[in-house]
Amino acid sequence: MEDRPIIHVIDDDAAMRDSLAFLLDVNGYKVLLYESANTFLEQAPTEAVTCVVSDIRMPGLNGIELVQRLKSRGPSYPVILITGHGDVALAVEAMKAGAVDFIEKPFDDADILEAIRSALSVRPLIQGNAAKKDAEARLSELSPREWDVLRGLVAGRINKVIAHELNISPRTVEVYRANLMAKTGARSMSELMRIALAAGL
């Protein structure tokens, strides 16, 4: 059973580390825990890293800086970021830097497990032109107003701010967000961001 995929969990909250360790262990993963990104970078053997699950806000290096640091080391491995409700703008920035996914707190066990399964299976992701063409095709049906809302989301703005900028109600922004998910086939906010970024938005 020692060929289990190794998941590296980085979080300064001991309770969160322990709960993720238990969840991943019972689902067949080997788990290594770190209380900071700095500790992970010092201790993790690069060849044994298959997937990293990291909080976005931590003392020392934050999640975005971690993604950038790993990218500069060479071939990267998937990083999934756990974000608080107000951190979506940061999470989008992290995806621009190279993170593969973000999960908003509070999250269901199923969400984090699905993100990890997806991160492990899509590597290597469709690259370059193929990814761009796929993303453009998925965005081709959007109305001008849906594009406006998507641009606001990619910029990391919350519904209320997008609504104010577009002179519509926050409820209408929610409707447009639902339309965006349906038209692109995105199952999560992070997948929608991946599609938008791949299309060069």
d(CA 28, CA 1): 9
Per-residue burial over 115-154, b = 16 or more CB atoms within 10 Å of its CB, e = otherwise: bbebbbeeeeeeeeeebeeebeebbeebeeebebbbebbb
Show the domains of the chain with their CATH numbers.
Answer: 6-121 (3.40.50.2300), 128-198 (1.10.10.10)
* pLDDT on residue 124: 47
pLDDT tens per residue across span 67-117: 888 877 766 678 898 887 666 677 778 777 788 888 888 888 988 998 898
Burial class (CB in 10 A: 0-12, 13-18, 19+), 81: buried
pTM across the whole model: 0.72
d(CA 201, CA 195): 9
Residue 137's pLDDT is 87
At 1 the pLDDT is: 43
All residue ranges of the chain with pLDDT < 70 are 1-2, 46-49, 74-76, 85-88, 122-129
